[in-house]
Amino acid sequence: MYLSLENISKTFIGERHTVQALTEISFGVAKGEFVSLIGQSGSGKSTLCNLIAGLITPDSGEIRLNGQRINGQAGHVGYMPQRDLLMPWRTVLQNVTLGAEIRRQPTKAAYARALELLPLFGLAGFADAFPNALSGGMRQRAALLRTFLLERPVLLLDEPFGALDALTRREMQRWLISVWEHLQPTVLFITHDVREAALLSDRVLVLSPRPGRLVADVPIALTRPRREEDESFVRLQTTLLRALAASAA
């Protein structure tokens, strides 16, 4: 497996409370695979992202990327945190090339690559616009482009469409799949929306309520684009909902 987690556990120890967030999580993601992780709020999804992104370290277990142990090491994956905000004082172009700037890479090359990808991200003509001039969907696409431009082998997207209205969200889901088909990144997509996971993924991992454990690993054989009215799609959603409900019981 390209990205692999083996027996990952994490407990937060505070002055007053101790929170066991994740217990013995093991799974792998193949290169180019689109895997979703679903679980209710508080089940440890963002914690798992922070662990894979190396922002926090697991209490036990191993996280490997392409065979290399990356526990506690930041910078290996492209991470779009749940509350990823664009900087309002920077243009779209300046926002999406932030990664290159932080790594002190040549601005010219970073701008050229960003300008090349703006149309694919539905932002053609908006390079010099400021975030407040963009719609919610456009802002999320800009944040996604910034994550893509980190040019990391794995994309970790934590509920990227959570704050969007239903119609925009649907458009963004279709769009994300077209980008994924085009660029073939390895994606770990976090959501609490079963329908979204079923629409997008090659596989869905189901996390139990806290402390999060993996309770199901559901491969999806349906071809894309998926049709929600198809019986097979409805069955898949039912399977996922049942796995979630069983884990909460």
Q: How many residues does the chain have?
A: 249
Binding mask of the shown chain, residues 54 to 83, with x at each position contacting Mg ion by CB under 5 A = ----------------------------x-
Q: Quick check: 168 binds Mg ion (CB under 5 A)?
A: no
Task: Please report the beta strands in the chain, taking only residues with DSSP state E, as ranges in sequence order.
Answer: 3-13, 18-29, 34-38, 60-65, 68-69, 78-80, 154-158, 186-191, 203-207, 214-219
What is the residue type of 121?
F
Which of 39-47, 69-77, 110-118, 218-226 is the region at the interface with Mg ion (rule: CB under 5 A)? 39-47
CA distance 145 to 176: 11
Nearer to Mg ion, 94 or 140 (CB): 140
- Cβ atoms 96, 90 nearer than 8 A: no
Residue 224 per-residue DSSP state = S
Is residue 46 close enough to count as binding ligand ADP by CB under 6 A?
Answer: yes
Q: Which of 4, 46, 168, 239 binds Mg ion (CB under 5 A)?
A: 46
Check binding of 228 to ligand ADP (CB under 6 A): no
Stretch that binds ligand ADP, among 12-20, 128-136, 169-177, 179-187 (CB under 6 A): 12-20
Nearest distance from C-beta of residue 40 to ligand ADP, angstroms: 7
